[in-house]
Amino acid sequence: MIAQSFSHVCAWVFDLDNTLYPPEARLFDQIEIRMTDWVMQSLNVTKQHADRLRRDYWAKYGTTLSGLMREHDVDPGPYLHDVHDIDMSHLKADPILRREITALPGRKIVYTNGSAPYAERVLAARGLSDLFDAVYGVEHAGFKPKPETAAFETIFKSDGILPGNAAMFEDDPRNLSAPHDLGMRTVLVAPLPVERPYIHFHTDDLAGFLSQLGNRPYAAT
């Protein structure tokens, strides 16, 4: 049973983008446009070149920001503020997801490669603002991004989480490798499954998955 696999878990770590809201919201469509514009203006390159750098840095370093910092000594503060200045008016509150997260026993945190202020805006739009014990952005990991093991270790040490008693929910498969190696239970939240030895479970319905964990005083409806 799924519930038995999580019976030891007392710390629940959730990624933000495409995890705590559905991919259909397409927030990253807006963010990618702003990232490309930012790279164009800051590095004085064409749109085509900026798009290529954005994709290449994401693939090589985990985030576009990490590549910009390493290869161009970019100040992360203005970048994070600008690229996350997007419209969230189409996001809807999710009372079912709220109920299932509320029912989880133990500590609950959000950990994103975006910024914490951006995460707080998303959570507010989803009706999830007051559910989490802490919200961590890339700035709390010293701007080291997932999937770097050191990034996870920094966040978990700061929060006091013991990975062996924790679970990680994430939409990007590569970001589950380090949590698995640290001893966490891992769940890929994505439309389609991905077969990797470091992914324990897959779901395309986070609320539905959480409802199966058995740590709830009532049945899901």
Q: Give 99-130 pLDDT, tens digit per residue.
A: 999 999 999 999 999 999 999 999 999 999 99
Condensed to tens digits (0 to 9), the pLDDT of residues 43-73 reads: 999 999 999 999 999 999 989 999 999 999 9
- Whole-number Å distance between alpha carbons of 46 and 67: 18
Mean pLDDT of 63-87: 94
| Position with higher pLDDT, 217 vs 193 | 193
- Whole-number Å distance between alpha carbons of 208 and 158: 30
Residue 215 has a pLDDT of: 58
Work out the pLDDT band at 34, boundaries 50, 70, 90: very high
Residue 214 has a pLDDT of: 72
Residue 124 has a pLDDT of: 98
Residue 143 has a pLDDT of: 96
Residue 59 has a pLDDT of: 92
Where, residue-wise, is CATH 3.40.50.1000 in the chain? 2-21+92-210
Where, residue-wise, is CATH 1.10.150.450 in the chain? 27-83
- Whole-model pTM over 0.85: yes
pLDDT mean across residues, the chain: 94
Out of 3.40.50.40, 3.40.50.2000, 3.30.70.930, 3.40.50.1000, which CATH number does the structure's domain 2-21+92-210 have? 3.40.50.1000
Mean pLDDT of 171-179: 98
Work out the pLDDT band at 25, boundaries 50, 70, 90: very high
Tell me the CATH number for domain 27-83.
1.10.150.450
Residue with tokens 């490669």: 113
